[in-house]
Amino acid sequence: MTLITAAGILFPTMVRQNSSNADVIVVGGGTAGCVAATVAARAGVSVLLIESRTAEDVGRKACGGALSADAVQVVSEIVGPLTGAEIAGTITSGLLGLPGDSPAVELDEPGVILNRPVLGQRLFSDALESGATLMTGHTCVGWSDRHNCTVHIRRPDGTETDATGLVIVDATGFRSVLTKAAGPTHPDAPKRSEIGIGYFEVLPLAKDLDRPDRAVVQIAPEGACDGYAWVFPMGSRLVNAGIGASLAAEDRSLKKHLRSYLDGSDLIVAHAPQTGGGDVTTAVENRHRAGSLSSGSGMIPLRRPLAGLVGDGFLSAGDAACQANPLHGGGIAPSIIAGSVAGRVAAAAVRRGDCSAAGLWEYGVETMRVLGAPHASQDLIRRLLSGLTPDDMAFVAGEMASAGRAFRSLYSSSPGLRAREILGTIGRAARRPALLKLLFESGHHVSAIHRLYRNYPESPDRLGTWFGRVEFAVRSFDRLVQGGRG
């Protein structure tokens, strides 16, 4: 069977859909799932990749697609260099719009804008070429037998079957039924305020952008006071524009708010040689009448990773494990990192003959140190920013941006960001006594939770105690922010 996708990638005859058992079963063909399947298959174990979408639709997701230069380096070291059509635009600087009447801040922060579907198709192809067996159009509806690592699958024709593996890797995304239903050793779930929703459109413009190398981020636009809007150039006449907010927001009409932001923004300038200027409003309005090239929406985790990522014969990766950056929800680089570790650890456990939680525990320790520690710190920063007044938020964001660190935290997926450095920079620059006190005290909490995640327990039996310390740390920080706000 040969398949040519819309992205022009040829899948060889190794696409098989009859096998229902394998050493490692990866559920979900997104970023984390494809990388996990590739790494495990290359390690010499049998891999079954189960994906609910058709092969042509793999890689399509509501996403801004922005990666900082640091994140590009991390991604390239794991999956190979980003090349050709995978890069839709190159960014040399950014513009950060602040709440209220505060002036925008120019930022010197290089990066790229990805063509997410093309990259997704390449990662999908890598998994197949590495020897993974594929089931497309098959939806995992839950556990059939948790003890024996058997998942229940619905076929495209509506009939159902089971698939059994030694290790199940859950990469089905934020709405996962496996992780939520007794997958890991310790229950943990995001609260409503820790869930984000996003909407994006890819829009062609009637005029050339004056700065096709500049990404624009607007903090707290109308309709998303606890979120942000973005416009990321994909060349001179194409942009990825979107808006994200907390699920707790009172008005979640994101499409309406995105259009309102684009029509009223003076941060995005299109260049018209014959007329001498113009803004993006006309260009976007022209496109609105014809419709966007693509659009989408989705839910994303905005919190530290789940406490328990591992169970007997089970690993949770990507959005299913809440491993996205909690400041903005970006999950490309974290998912690639987590998928790589999951595939490696799963294959090693199969070869050792120990797929128990203890045998797979290395996955949790490694990902918590690489992703959990910075993301737990950023989770506290998000909670701090959401608790500030708009004026204080503008001041803090402006100081962060002027220090050259904010844009990396706002739109990159680099796991190497040291959150305490951000808060320390803000504290040194602050001129407001009450806010200064809150920022300095917050810095101590941020450092403490970073250390806590770096010291993730080395065995499952210590997880309960560690989780209690995390919960106490988060509650203490929330009380600090509420008191400082009051």
Q: What is the pLDDT of residues 408-453, one digit of tens each?
A: 443 334 444 455 555 555 555 556 778 888 888 898 999 999 999 9
* CA atoms of 355 and 312, how far apart (whole Å): 6
Length of the chain: 486
Q: Is the pLDDT of residue 275 over 60?
A: no
* CA atoms of 317 and 438, how far apart (whole Å): 34
* CATH fold for domain 16-60+119-189+301-368: FAD/NAD(P)-binding domain (3.50.50)
pLDDT mean over 184-213: 83
* CA atoms of 52 and 58, how far apart (whole Å): 9
Q: What share of the chain is helix, strand, coil (3-state, %, to 5)?
A: 40, 25, 35
pTM: 0.87
Say what the pLDDT of residue 401 is.
Answer: 66
Say what the pLDDT of residue 463 is.
Answer: 93
- Say how far residue 159 (Cα) sits from the centre of its chain: 33
Say what the pLDDT of residue 153 is.
Answer: 94
* CA atoms of 5 and 171, how far apart (whole Å): 22
> pLDDT tens, 86-127?
999 999 998 888 887 778 888 888 999 999 999 999 999 999
Long-range CB contacts (within 8 A, 24+) of 471-474: 473/445, 473/448, 473/449, 474/304, 474/379, 474/380, 474/383, 474/449
Nearest to 406 by CA among 392, 421, 391, 384: 421
* CA atoms of 65 and 120, how far apart (whole Å): 11
In this structure, which amino acid lies at residue 407?
F
Q: Is the pLDDT of residue 173 over 80?
A: yes
**Alpha helices, H only, 389-432:** 390-402, 406-411, 419-429
Say what the pLDDT of residue 12 is.
Answer: 36
pLDDT mean over 203-208: 86
* CA atoms of 335 and 198, how far apart (whole Å): 18
> pLDDT tens, 314-354?
999 999 999 999 988 889 999 999 999 999 999 999 999 99
Helix/strand/coil (H/E/C) assignment for every residue in 233-264? ECCCCEEEEEEEEECCCCCCCHHHHHHHHHHH
Token code pair at residue 304: 């530290």
User: What is the percent of the chain with per-residue pLDDT over 90, rounded to a whole number?
Assistant: 52
Token code pair at residue 200: 């994006």
Using DSSP's 3-state secondary structure scheme, residue 186 falls into: coil
Say what the pLDDT of residue 282 is.
Answer: 38
How many Cβ atoms from other residues are within 10 Å of residue 173's Cβ? 22
Cβ burial of 420 (10 Å; 0-12, 13-18, 19+) is: middle
In this structure, which amino acid lies at residue 262?
L
Q: Which residues contact 417 (CB under 8 A, 6 or more apart)?
A: 374, 378, 405, 408, 409
Q: What is the DSSP letter of 370?
A: I
CATH class of 193-299: alpha beta
Q: Which residues contact 439 (CB under 8 A, 6 or more apart)?
A: 384, 396, 423, 426, 427, 430
* CA atoms of 211 and 216, how far apart (whole Å): 10
pLDDT tier for residue 56 given thresholds of 50, 70 and 90:
confident
- Is residue 420 within 8 A of residue 79, CB to CB? The reply is no
* CA atoms of 448 and 455, how far apart (whole Å): 11
User: What is the percent of the chain with per-residue pLDDT over 70, rounded to a whole number?
Assistant: 81
| Phi then psi dihedrals of residue 18, to 5 deg | -105, -30
Q: Is the pLDDT of residue 188 over 80?
A: no
* CA atoms of 169 and 175, how far apart (whole Å): 15
